[in-house]
Structure 1
């Protein structure tokens, strides 16, 4: 499992929203929500980091939501080391699309790497925002 981020697609709108390609890649033909998915990358990375913090603090279940469309990954703590990821979405009566077990440390590493890459790409592009400031504070902790 890895989280794909394409810094070449990074864009800040006139309203300040920052978008880029970001999606989960489970290998082979399994990308979620789909290969090339573009979303509000700074906002969703902040949400995902906060959700993972809740899991690390003992919460049993949380969601990694995408902002664009109705897609999310339900994260269920399995034990101290593993998490069940249920990729869900597409409609209001959404169904599970894919399910996989990953190690907590692997998801934490992927999210921290993603946050660092997003922060660096925004710095190189001269992008600034309150959400980006929040992301950078999370990286310092």
Structure 2
């Protein structure tokens, strides 16, 4: 089982209107890229919503990436069949790519986790009365 973890209490709005916060994947007792990873959370969740929607509709064997903005990390999702994907948790390094972990999961399960994380972030930014183009783009993805 894989889940998207967000730490809504870490959200910060920069002068450039970028929102950062804790976001990472949890696979059992493992965290990717790391526990308390801080990144551009709203932009990333927008990307991930688009990626999981693509995996739902594209053909078997198709892949999509779940990118992080900071660091050399990303997750590659490969569609196994109509309802399952294989996730490869990858770190880019000087000699190529290192697969940290791989996992098979249900597409709907990952989609629910991404949607839940997105809704938590939107609830928090609404409470803080932050309005940015990135927030509006994320809002469109979960309607």
TM-score by length of 2: 0.93
Query: For 1:49-101, what per-residue CA distance to the aligned partner results, in whole angstroms no more than 9, with x for missing partners?
Result: 11111111215101000001111000000111111000001425221111011
Following superposition, which runs of at least 4 residues in structure 1 exceed 3 angstroms of deviation?
none
Counterparts of 1:118 and 1:16, CA distance in 2: 15
Consecutive unaligned residues in structure 2, runs of 5 or more: none
| 1:100 match | 103
Check the 8 A contact 2:78/2:86 in 1, yes or no.
Answer: yes
Q: When you count strand as a share of all residues, which structure comes out higher?
A: 2
Query: For 1:22-53, what per-residue CA distance to the aligned partner results, in whole angstroms no more than 9, with x for missing partners?
Result: 0000012x110010100000000000011111
119-128 or 60-69: bigger deviation? 119-128
| 1:45 match | 45
CA RMSD of aligned residues (A): 1.1
Counterparts of 2:93 and 2:123, CA distance in 1: 34
Aligned length: 139
Consecutive unaligned residues in structure 1, runs of 5 or more: none
